[in-house]
Amino acid sequence: MNNELKVKEKNNKLFFIETWGCQMNEEDSEKLSGMLKKIGYERTEVKQDSDLIIFNTCCVRENAELKVYGNLGALKKLKDKKPDLIIAICGCMMQQEGMAKEIVKRFPFVDIIFGTHNAYKFPEYLNRVKQEQNSIIEIQNKEDGIVEGLPIDRKSDVKAFVTIMYGCNNFCTYCIVPFVRGRERSRKPEDIENEIKDLISKGYKEITLLGQNVNSYGKDLEPKVSFANLLRRINEIEGLERIKFMTPHPKDFTQDVLDAIAECENVCEQVHLPVQSGSSRILKKMNRHYTKEQYLDLVRRIRETIPDVAITTDIIVGFPGETEEDFEETLSLAREVQYDSAFTFIYSRRKGTPADEMEEQIAEDVKHERFNRLVEIINASSAKNNKKYEGRIEEILVEDFSKNDDTKLTGRTRTGKLVNFPGSKDSIGKLVKVKIVKANSFSLIGEEI
Ligand code: SAH
Ligand code: SF4
Ligand code: F3S
């Protein structure tokens, strides 16, 4: 029996998958991987060994696209050597108008191209590719209903992402996401709860609820369910230790959501609150629907309601028309909020978005200079906030061995701070108490107690 199994495993085809972009894409890749395993493929981390290569792409900034082009170009040699190799490309970048054609023209050796709305049909495309001469191009512009129950091969055994809604209705003027991910669609609370219960039965301790704007969860459901109520329902699920979520939009952050976070003991003290700019004038041009003052007031209420909360953000520098004065508003906001960390981005023009058509695009050198000034302020507040942890005893969810040192374990606090400390394999997947002995700029060092 054992021998038979071994032979079977050896004959299994191997797939390699590379994912760019956000957690939405990560989750899609976990589903692709889950489906492939169901039909007998095994995963490999070595491109050269694989029978199938999948690139799951992102197009939120130009850089993301350039990486995909670079990596695709490099596959030509491999395909020449291994003509049976199947190359598939999918994800947000493929949903852009004309992109699939462009890919086929520039990289004719690509076998399958599909988009974000029909990823669940991938096994069908794989079957077809063996019979068809030409590349398969299957891009859907309209989203199907939500497809439940796909197998999912998760990266971690400890923490998991659970998508609660797909798409985005906000159309921030710089952003391509609503064009490539479609309109907001919420999953039914029962489906979300069942997925979480299943995860708990497999030993998962932490879940992160995912959506482009989780605060507008459930508005499209019948009957409507608010995000605050979803948090309360999930908090009741036996055996779950930590609930996190991203991303809430500041314009929809109601007091009810704040109260739910404070009330629910499993919801962690961590809020990712993308600000994008500190200038009310620029925020208006971005179509964000809040002012600097409203954002700062929300931060004040969050800090009042959730003691010791960690606040993180996303900021774009160099949006069209951003003056030195506008940018200084961003700096002053960052100084005032004292973020725990921030993803800082240089504005990138995206075809089809309103901001791409705006005059007064900012010169690259100005964008870079502003970017560096902002990063300095963010790093200073990160380091200062981390320093506060020295001497504290924190609950850490242990995720794995540390990447650079296999005598150390790595995990996170409830507030999302990365902590490394000496320990053994037995602690992986568990919550342990750790004393923080030293704070670095981007992580903490601790000792298990
Ligand atoms: N839905 C989430 C995140 C969307 S994309 C939200 O609204 O917060 C992640 C981040 O990418 C955004 O928050 C924004 O800061 C950044 N981003 C989006 N489009 C961009 C562009 N054209 N140029 C630079 N950064 C961009
Ligand atoms: Fe993009 Fe704005 Fe939607 Fe976030 S809320 S995905 S930034 S359009
Ligand atoms: Fe995410 Fe990039 Fe798509 S940020 S939604 S993978 S465009």
User: Do 403 and 412 contact (CB within 8 A), yes or no?
Assistant: no
| SS3 at position 214 | helix
Residue nearest to atom 5 of ligand 2 (CA): 170
Q: What does the pLDDT read at residue 3?
A: 45
User: Do 327 and 366 contact (CB within 8 A), yes or no?
Assistant: no
The answer on whether 168 is annotated among ligand-binding residues is yes
Q: What does the pLDDT read at residue 284?
A: 98
Q: What does the pLDDT read at residue 11?
A: 65
Give the closest ligand to the alpha carbon of residue 352: 1
Cα distances from 434 to residues 21, 188, 431, in angstroms, run 32, 38, 10
| SS3 at position 242 | strand
Domain with CATH 2.40.50.140 in the chain: 393-448
The answer on whether 172 is annotated among ligand-binding residues is yes
What is the position in ligand 1's atom list of the atom closest to the CA of 246? 2
Amino acid letter, residue 272: H
Domain with CATH 3.30.750.210 in the chain: 156-268
The 10 Å Cβ neighbour count of residue 343 is 12
Domain with CATH 3.30.750.200 in the chain: 272-386
Q: Which of 419, 316, 336, 432 is nearest to 377 (CA)?
A: 336
CA atoms of 76 and 79, how far apart (whole Å)? 5
Domain with CATH 3.40.50.12160 in the chain: 2-138
What does 266-293 look like in DSSP terms, one character per residue? Answer: TB-SEEE---B-S-HHHHHHTT----HH
Tokens standing for 257? 């959501």
Tokens standing for 134? 């030409």
Instruction: Say which CATH architecture domain 272-386 belongs to.
Output: 2-Layer Sandwich (3.30)
In angstroms, what is the span from residue 346 Cα to ligand 1's centroid? 10
User: Which of 175, 353, 357 has most ligand 1 atoms within 8 Å of CB, for mutation?
Assistant: 175
The answer on whether 175 is annotated among ligand-binding residues is yes
Tokens standing for 211? 């959506």
In angstroms, what is the span from residue 93 Cα to ligand 3's centroid? 8
Assess if CATH 3.30.830.10 describes domain 156-268: no
Q: In sequence order, what E strands does 310-350 have?
A: 310-317, 341-346
Q: What does the pLDDT read at residue 1?
A: 41
Q: What is the mean pLDDT of each run of 10 residues along the chain (449 residues)?
A: 46 92 94 94 94 97 94 94 95 94 94 93 90 86 84 92 95 96 95 96 96 95 96 96 97 94 96 98 98 98 95 98 98 98 97 96 97 97 96 97 89 97 94 96 92
Residue 12 DSSP symbol: S
* Ligand 1 in reach of 313 Cβ (< 6 A): no
The answer on whether 58 is annotated among ligand-binding residues is yes
CA atoms of 217 and 221, how far apart (whole Å)? 9
* Ligand 3 in reach of 177 Cβ (< 6 A): yes
User: Which of 18, 23, 24 has most ligand 3 atoms within 8 Å of CB, for mutation?
Assistant: 24
Q: What does the pLDDT read at residue 146?
A: 86
In angstroms, what is the span from residue 351 Cα to ligand 3's centroid? 15
CATH number for the segment(s) 393-448: 2.40.50.140
Residue 171 backbone zone (phi > 0: left; psi -120 to 50: alpha; other: beta): left
Tokens standing for 383? 């380091």
* Ligand 1 in reach of 277 Cβ (< 6 A): no
* Ligand 2 in reach of 398 Cβ (< 6 A): no
Long-range contacts of the stretch 360-363 (C-beta < 8 A, 24+):
360/320, 360/321, 361/320, 362/318, 362/319, 362/320, 362/321, 362/322
Cα distances from 354 to residues 176, 272, 443, in angstroms, run 10, 26, 38
Q: What does the pLDDT read at residue 130?
A: 80
| SS3 at position 245 | strand
Residue nearest to atom 4 of ligand 1 (CA): 212
Instruction: Tell the burial category of 229 from Cβ atoms under 10 Å away from its Cβ (0-12, 13-18, 19+).
Output: middle
What is the CATH class of 2-138?
alpha beta
CA atoms of 137 and 125, how far apart (whole Å)? 9
Residue nearest to atom 24 of ligand 1 (CA): 347
